[in-house]
Amino acid sequence: MIAENVAALLKELPAGVLLEAAVKMRSSEEITQAISAGVKIIGENYIQEAEEHYKTVGGRAEWHLIGHLQKNKAKKASEFFQMIETVDSVGTGQAIDRYCGRASKVMPVLIEVNSGREAQKDGAMPENVEALVRDLSGLKNMKVMGLMTMGPELANPEGLRPYFRETKALFDRIAALTLPGVEMKHLSMGMTDSYKIAIEEGATIVRIGSKIFGPRKA
């Protein structure tokens, strides 16, 4: 089933849109099947879970952190992931830069946008994102590569369109600034229920879980 689902998605996605398998609470076996079927990016919510999977799966795919990153976990995340999609503060960005500097590497990151302006959720408020990117643009070992958003949880995914549209407009505005050390290349938004809408609104990475793996087991 996983192989068939991945094949169908890869056939469906337009050129330039990357498929990221969201693997929260999935098994290493499921992840391995997805990679064998053509998935090249694995999106993990938790660092510890990613490390456990890596013991079995290894470096057969690119590993992205798509869960919230606390500053005290920045060292481990910087060691493990090839991209961090959830930077939402100067402090977190500076911590990533510091640890990557010690390892002589540059970490690609996306700025997480709280497009729904929800107080209980992580992410930078849209009106603060440009200033955040400016503050991070001078760091040498961390490179802003775009934006990521979740959007609010809605019964009708069509309702997410304004949030995706606003995030894309913000993406374009920052790209036009041509800030040093900033390359606005990726816009990560849309999940199983909303990825088609996200693509229509400019997503270049879609994070798909249940459409690949089926419903999560309790």
The pair of structure tokens assigned to 126 is 């849209």
- Is position 31 within any domain? yes
- Is position 218 within any domain? no
pLDDT in tens, 91-132: 999 999 999 999 999 999 999 999 999 999 999 999 999 999
* pLDDT reading at 188 higher than 90: yes
- Is position 166 within any domain? yes
- Pick the closest to residue 107 from 132, 121, 86 (CA basis): 86
**Residues in CB range of 177: below 8 A, 6 or more apart:** 130, 134
- Is position 123 within any domain? yes
- How far apart, in whole angstroms, are the C-alpha atoms of residue 109 and residue 160? 23
Please state the domain count of the chain: 1
Q: Which helix (H) or strand (E) segment is 89 a member of?
A: none
Which residues span the domain enclosing 193?
2-213
Question: Counting Cβ atoms within 10 Å, is residue 115 exposed (0-12), middle (13-18) or buried (19+)?
Answer: buried
**CATH code at position 182:** 3.20.20.10
Give the pLDDT band of residue 216 (cuts 50, 70, 90): confident
* pLDDT reading at 218 higher than 60: no
End-to-end CA distance of the chain: 19
Compute the mean pLDDT over every residue in the chain, rounded to the nearest whole number.
96
- Is position 150 within any domain? yes
Q: How far is CA 136 from the centre of its chain?
A: 18
- Is position 78 within any domain? yes
